[in-house]
Structure 1
Amino acid sequence: MHLSTMGWDNFFEEQKQALKKVNGRIARVTGLQKNHVRIHDGEEEVVVKARGRIVRGHGKNTLFPVPGDYVIEKGGVVTRVFARKNQLVRGAAGRRGKLDAAPKAKQVIASNIDTVFIVCGLDRDYNLRRIERYLTLIYNSNMTPVVILNKADLHEDSEPFKAEVEEIALGVPVHLISSIDGDGVEALEPYVTEGKTICLMGSSGAGKSSLVNAIVGEEIRIVGEVSDFDGKGMHTTTTRDMIFLESGGMIIDNPGIREISLSDEEGGVDDTFPDITELAAGCRFNDCTHQHEPECNVMAAVESGELAADRLINYLKMRLELTFVSSRESKTADRIEKERWRDVAKFQKDAKTRT
């Protein structure tokens, strides 16, 4: 195995060539362990240290290594993180469903991803509105989603579930599988070819670890039981790890996500709800909120049954959440700028006093 089979391509090669000298070895991050990271250079996997912030280039941009990153390591320490093609980002957990408690930080889950598998169990985990939130998060991160409906063996006919998801995940591949008996797993092979990186997302108990085991063909991930009381699974996966497949592909397994907080707006909502965007073009007002305006084409579609009311509600909820996040970040930036000029004014005043 070498870097080219681990996803290294011209995007990263150009960055390497721009360096006057590569002072250390290039490797890919395969996992996190508190303040340490696991890296693989194509020949061996080792654990090295990571400082709180890693300087990239000569500017002020800093990155902390995450699974999927390409880095330069020297003397057991990561000294540089290469610029990322993309990064899977969500708002840090802790909102507890309150809009006014929107996350104050962004959490980068993984980077340099080719496809994100949204893993949803066909039990109590099945939730169309949650899938819409996953899709928005993934589109905001400039990544390609695929929906995996696991535990198809729980139903005599699981096709209706697939049809429902296809209606709300327009243009997104949807696969029915059973990790227990392996049905449908072979359809995932085209996504995990040599040099391709897959990232798994889903709730605890959705079957991400069992899916990894089914793809690999052996038990390499611990699989937990799902509670009969609330249908929730335990966090059997507690770290983000990159798993290398015989096909040459790579899978980044993640702990279950119970709170899908959106971090910012990069067009993800429009990509998730293209039907609403199209309907909105027929509204009387360009700034229609689709709630109370006259001649609203979107509300008319709900009344006629063309558009599900729950889908519109989820759309409006995410729009509101992203607007709030954007507004908060803007206010924070303004506050930082005011504090900066306050410090400048203080410095000038002190300088006059000294003279």
Structure 2
Amino acid sequence: MARDYSRFLPSLTGGTQIHTPTGLERLGWTSFFAQQVSVDDLARTPPVRVTSVERSGLRVEGESLQATLPPRLDATVGDWLLHDAARPGASRLLARKSLFRRRAAGTGREVQLIAANVDTVFIVTSCNRDFNVARLERYVALAFEAEVEPVIVATKADLADDPQGFAAAAAEVSAAVPVVVLDALGPEPKEKLAPWCKTGRTLAFLGSSGVGKSTLVNALSGRTTAATGGIREDDDRGRHTTTGRHLYVLPEGYAVLDTPGMRELQLTDAAEGIAEVFADLSDLAARCRFSDCRHEDEPGCAVQAAIAAGEVDEARLRRWQKLQREEAFNSASLAERRERERSFGRMVRSILKDKPAKR
């Protein structure tokens, strides 16, 4: 008997009755995705969500359905697809409501997809020597560009002499980003992160190795869901324990994404995210006398005037300029590569068009 998927589509009627989340809704299925499909689509190709990306393919989960789809470069953890049982490789990828991506590590210029359809990202750092404001600014810019709500979480507060000092430094990253300080090993994660842990939501943990991302996943789930490890005593940096990105559906009805620590986070196509993190400097720059002001020794520079008045930290200005240069270089490099590929494609089509047909 054909399953009734109409309940997964947007409701057209009101009502106050208590709604029990379906399996798909617990996975993160919302009206955003339902509006992209019809009842016939759902009956033929039921929706599934990518829970992990492995060499063998994409692990997916749906309503009473688990499968492995062939590897594909256009999908990442958190994506929704319509599962085509007859042709798994042709499963339709649904439009995303958010996407984390970065320039792939190394010397290449490829873009790496990190995670899709995340609602809130917990940017995790530690109250120790691994704490780095510049790194936090990068992660927050990535979140803003992906249109995901960022929350900075400072762990290992129980081991710090002045955890509130770390909290104050993290709060200076952006006035729009809340900061939570906690002990990841106790009951505090469930208590302090509760405002964001709602049924049907998708949460992600990003940060360097050893800051406690997997420990937080385990604290929220109430069981050992993700592997954890310690930190090196010489520099307070962690060892990799999470080796892939995994999406877990917790008993409370929300999904949590655990990710490996990132040794390198190169931003690309993130100009708006950077501008939002440094909104104070962007506003000042708009008041400079010259539109191409470099904020160095030009007359009428509003940014330098604010620094001289003690209103702006010069180190923050330098970090802003560094991220702008990096983003512009990476984005230009990618744009140039895409243009070369388009030019090569036009050349090939022109040659084929002019080539005489065989008799």
**AA aligned opposite 2:295:** H
Q: Pick one of 156, 178, 186 that aligns with 2:183.
A: 178
Q: Give yes or no for contact 2:240–2:261 (8 Å, CA) kept in 1.
A: yes
Alpha-carbon separation, structure 2, partners of 1:266 and 1:142 = 13
35, 47, 52: which is aligned to 2:72? 52
TM-score if structure 1 supplies the norm length? 0.88
Counterpart of 1:333 (choices 331, 334, 338) is 338
CA–CA separation in structure 1 for the residues paired with 2:334 and 2:225: 41
- How far apart are the structure 2 equivalents of 1:313 and 1:327? 21
Please name the residue that 1:88 is paired with.
Answer: 100
Q: Could you tell me how far 1:321 is from its partner in structure 2?
A: 0.9
1:270-290: CA deviation from partner (whole Å, max 9, x where unpaired) = 110011011112211122222
* CA–CA distance in structure 2, aligned partners of residues 21 and 219 of structure 1: 34
Alignment length (residue pairs): 336
- Larger deviation: 235-244 or 340-349? 340-349
Contact 1:178/1:185 (<8 A) preserved: no
SS in 2 for 1:267: helix
Are the equivalent residues in 1 in contact too, given 2:189–2:216 (CA < 8 A)?
Answer: no
8 Å Cα contact 2:268/2:328 also seen in 1: no
Letter in 2 for 1:175: V
Percent sequence identity is: 33
**What is aligned with 1:219?**
224
- Change in Cα spacing, 1:348 to 1:183, as seen in structure 2 (3 Å) is closer
Tell me whether 1:255 sits opposite 2:275 in the alignment: no
What does 1:169-248 align with in structure 2 at a 5 Å threshold?
Answer: 169-183=174-188, 185-248=190-253
CA distance in 2, matches of 1:219, 1:105: 35
Equivalent residue, structure 2, for 1:23: 44
1:61-96 C-alpha deviation (Å, 9 max, x unpaired)? xx22x22111122338352221111111111111xx
Question: Which residue is equivalent to 2:27?
Answer: 6
Q: CA deviation at 1:201?
A: 0.2
Residue 38 of structure 1 aligns with which residue? Answer: 59
1:334, CA displacement in angstroms? 2.8
1:149-183 alpha-carbon deviations (Å, 9 max, x no partner): 11111124311211121122222111001112333
128-137 vs 217-226, which moves further:
217-226
Contact 2:142-2:270 at 8 Å conserved across structures: no
Q: Does the aligned pair in 2 maintain the 1:67–1:111 contact within 8 Å?
A: yes
The reply to whether residue 120 of structure 1 matches residue 120 of structure 2 is no
Give the match for residue 300 of structure 2: 295
Task: Indicate yes or no: 2:116 matched with 1:68.
Answer: no
Please tell me whether the aligned partners of residues 112 and 197 of structure 1 are also in contact (alpha carbons under 8 angstroms).
yes
Deviation at 1:258, TM superposition (A): 1.4
1: CA distance between counterparts of 2:192 and 2:175?
Answer: 19
Structure 1 distance, partners of 2:235, 2:161, is: 23
Cα offset, 1:22, TM superposition:
4.7
Q: Note the alpha carbon deviations across 1:216-252, whole angstroms, 9 max, x for none.
A: 2222222111011232211111121111222211110
**Counterparts in 2 of 1:52 and 1:20: CA distance versus 1, 3 Å:** closer
CA displacement at 1:18 relative to structure 2: 8.6
Give the SS at the match of 2:253: coil
* In 2, Cα distance between equivalents of 1:348 and 1:335: 20
State the alpha-carbon separation in 2 of the partners of residues 42 and 349 from structure 1. Answer: 53
The yes-or-no answer on 1:320 pairing with 2:325 is yes
Q: Structure 2: which 5+ residue stretches go unaligned?
A: 1-21
| Aligned mates of 1:218, 1:340 — CA distance in 2 | 52
SS in 2 for 1:259: coil
Cα gap change, 1:334/1:300 in structure 2, threshold over 3 Å: closer, same or farther?
same
Q: 1:8 and 1:49 mapped to 2: Cα distance?
A: 19
Amino acid at match of 1:12: F
Q: Report the residue type matching 1:52 in the other structure.
A: R
Q: What amino acid does structure 2 have at the position aligned with 1:309? A: E
Residues 15 and 281 (structure 1 numbering): CA distance in 2 closer, same or farther, change over 3 Å? same
CA contact (8 A) 1:244 1:251 kept: yes
Given the alignment of the two structures, is residue 283 of structure 1 paired with residue 288 of structure 2, yes or no? yes
Q: How far has the Cα of 1:266 moved from its partner? A: 4.6
Q: Residue 36 of structure 1 contacts residue 47 of structure 1 at CA under 8 Å; is this kept in 2?
A: no
Structure 1 residues 155, 82: CA separation in 2 closer, same or farther (over 3 Å shift)? Answer: same
Instruction: Give 1:225's aligned amino acid.
Output: G
d(CA) in 2 for partners of 1:20 and 1:116?
Answer: 31
